[in-house]
Amino acid sequence: MKDAATLASPAVLASPDAYADAVATAVRAAAAYYADGTTPLGDDEYDALVRTIEAYEREHPQEVLPDSPTGKVAGGAVVGDVPHSVPMLSLDNVFSAEELDSWAAGLERRLGRPVTAWCVEPKLDGLAVAARYRAGRLTQVLTRGDGLAGEDITHAADAVLGLPGRLAEPLDVELRGEVLLTHEQFEHANAVRTAHGATAFAHPRSGAAGTLRAKDRPYRVELTFFAYDALGLPGLDHGELLARLAGLGAHTAAGTAADPRRCATLAEAQQRIDEIAALRAALPFGIDGVVVKADAVADQEQAGSGSRAPRWAVARKLQAQHKVTRLLGVEWNVGRTGIIAPRAVLEPVVIDGVTVTYATLHNPADIERRGLMIGDQVFVYRAGDVIPRVEAPLADQRTGAEQPVVFPEVCPRCGDAIDTSEQRWRCVRGRACQTVASIIYAAGRDQLDIEGLGGTRAVQLVEAGLVTDLADLFTLTREQLLTLDRMGDTSADKLLAAIETARAQPLNRVFCALGIRGTGRTMSRRIAAHFGALAAIRAADAEALAEVDGIGVEKAAVIVAELAEVAVLLDRLTAQSVGTAVTAPVVPARAGGSTAAADGVEDGAEDGAEGAEGGAAAGPLAGQHVVVTGAMTGALAELSRNAVNELVERAGGRASSSVSKRTTLLVAGEKAGSKRAKAEELGIRIVTPEEFAVLVAGQLG
């Protein structure tokens, strides 16, 4: 786990004026954060600022300002009008394993003995609320406010999943927990908001804050509640209390990959912290840390609480995945099929240990929906290995110097016209705009696998006029190649041999090499298996293509149009006997001829086949939905991921790139990561590459 201490270590304030400025900045940031989440500071920056203020106050106790955020719930930024029956406190923070050790040692000194046991659970990134029940019926929901009084948000309770309107028993009790937007709820909320003309939420926390306080909206946004405490259920250790809350019908973190865990020692607790931190990217909700609590109620009661936080619990903060930075510009890049994609240029910012200078903006419509302007302060999000994305601007931070994003009027690469009829803009020349990129892609390992045809060689071939499209590769002669710079006899012979081998590649690889929009490696395997021959694919209309698992009517229309666009290229490839080798057919498993191909992710996005029914062809993996992750070893060590997926399908299974409830088998190699964690959470069978090789032994070789 990366250490947040490097980002949160206190700096030095050199003067009373610098201290006063720091306090004012922290107060403004806390006010924005606890009001609607649109803070000008990211979590790491705010934590570091408060620690700097604390350090100054320790050295100059006589200069402490009354509005300092230290020692106050919510940084003293918010107040409420409904008193809490018992103060609703915050948590103290630690930023490293060493600080956690020091905190635990201090707790044990206070107790005069070792802590009985620890409970470790995720620190959910949402808003703390208190839900009051009378005779088992929900009567009132409050925000934490300043800890002494909160804001009444009972009007929003119906939209909060996991917060039951009636408990399983007729108790007088107050549940305390966190309300948040899961990742799925956040995406849905922004889609709904933009459809109603509202701006997108900056990030899930601001979305939750705004939604809980909103009234009379013409649309509904669902949230989720996670209970972590209660008043009115005395005498229970923390783990027992969580189980009791679940039994009453409240939602808790139990059952997720980051489920609360009882640990006998602090070393075990630290191990669990590391496990939760490693799972962070795979969790369906955001966390900004891990909470460590004394599990025994006796330990909690003896330790007591301060004015701001309990002494028996602490938050081990993790590096923030949301950061605020400035949008410096937008670049427009042209892909191999002519798609013109915008990319955000950012003021460099460190997110989860990685310096981010670029982020995805998806398409022009996305920029307009989010209302972005050059110079905006923006929230940027990065989770695990996911490409960073700009979520929304902090509109209230604008100075008036911001400028509109300038959209291209002509293709930024070739200067020709742009087709703007779809959300994703495209050069009217299509693939012809990026011939080099198309050739490099087609020659790639998972397509035609033409060794020796990399970027430099592709540029040479195109600039020399020897190659204008994929079919030209198969007409190259030795004499032509020898005219290229740094191309000797041996290199020419090797490249020609690799091209000759590529001529016999199976249909699915040739089809994938075409770079048809709406297809990729997985979808190309499906199409090849469904139709069996290139001529049959070309003859298929949109209705026939829509029968292929995961395509659907809209994607089928795009593929038909793409096939018409490359008709001349396909004629030339056929004349060169390219694409005539047929992928081993897969027996259809349902009416309409659906194939037994992958049902998961296609080029990083869900392809819509999760709801498909039907099994697969006969074989050792018949009926299995298989995900392969991590580095392969043993007999599979030399196979690419695409080759392993092809192996799955030859064995009668369905290959997928994402773990879901339909997955039945995970092949977990070295450093399997979040997919293994999700599979364990769902109870999916997990095998090693060596065990998998035994299962499909008849297909190897």
Does 176 score more than 90 pLDDT?
yes
User: Contact at 8 Å (CB) between 280 and 124?
Assistant: no
- Provide the residue type at 187 as one letter: E
User: What pLDDT score was predicted for residue 603?
Assistant: 36
The per-residue pLDDT for 432 is 78
Q: How far is Cα 203 from Cα 645, in angstroms, rounded to an integer?
A: 35
Q: Choose the catalytic residue: 2, 123, 323, 675.
A: 123
> Is 532's pLDDT higher than 90?
no
> Which range, of 264-273, 419-428, 467-476, 514-523, averages the lowest pLDDT?
514-523
Tokens found for residue 164: 């039951």
pLDDT at 79 exceeding the cut of 70? no
pTM for the complete prediction?
A: 0.56
Residue with tokens 């009027």: 409
Question: Rounded to the nearest 10 degrees, how much is the dihedral formed by the CA atoms of 289, 292, 293, 296?
Answer: 140
**Angle at 117 (CA atoms; ends 112, 118), nearest 5 degrees:** 110
123 labelled catalytic? yes
Which residues on neighbouring strands pair with residue 171, listed in sequence order? none
Answer for the pair 305, 155: CB distance below 8 angstroms, yes or no.
no
Which 3 state secondary structure label does DSSP give 313? strand
Place of tokens 């992710």: 601
CA dist 548 and 527 (Å) reads: 7
Residue 3 CB coordination number (10 Å): 14
State how far the Cα of 227 lies from the Cα of 252, in Å rounded to an integer. Answer: 5
pLDDT tens profile 456-487: 888 899 888 899 889 999 999 999 999 998 89
> In the prediction, which pLDDT does 660 show?
82
Tell me the two tokens of residue 433: 């705009």
DSSP-assigned beta bridge partners for residue 419: 426
User: Percent of the chain scored above 70 by pLDDT?
Assistant: 87
Computed over every residue of the chain, the mean pLDDT equals 83
How many residues comprise the chain? 701
Q: Are 453 and 495 in contact (CB under 8 A)?
A: yes
Structure tokens at 150: 């909160």
Least confident of 52-61, 247-256, 570-579, 602-611: 602-611
d(CA 370, CA 327): 13
CA distance 359 to 337: 21
Contact 226, 180 (CB under 8 A): yes
Question: Domains along the chain?
Answer: 5-76 (1.10.287), 82-317 (3.30.470.30), 322-419 (2.40.50.140), 430-575 (1.10.150.20), 616-699 (3.40.50.10190)
Residue 92: Cβ within 10 Å count: 14
Name which residue leads in pLDDT, 72 or 165.
165
Confidence at 100, pLDDT banded by 50, 70, 90: very high
Closest CA relative to residue 519, chosen from 569, 547, 558, 553:
558
Residue type, 623: G
Q: What is the pLDDT of residues 649-691, one digit of tens each?
A: 878 888 887 788 889 999 998 877 778 888 887 889 999 999 8
571: pLDDT strictly greater than 80: yes
Quick check: 280 pLDDT over 80? Answer: yes
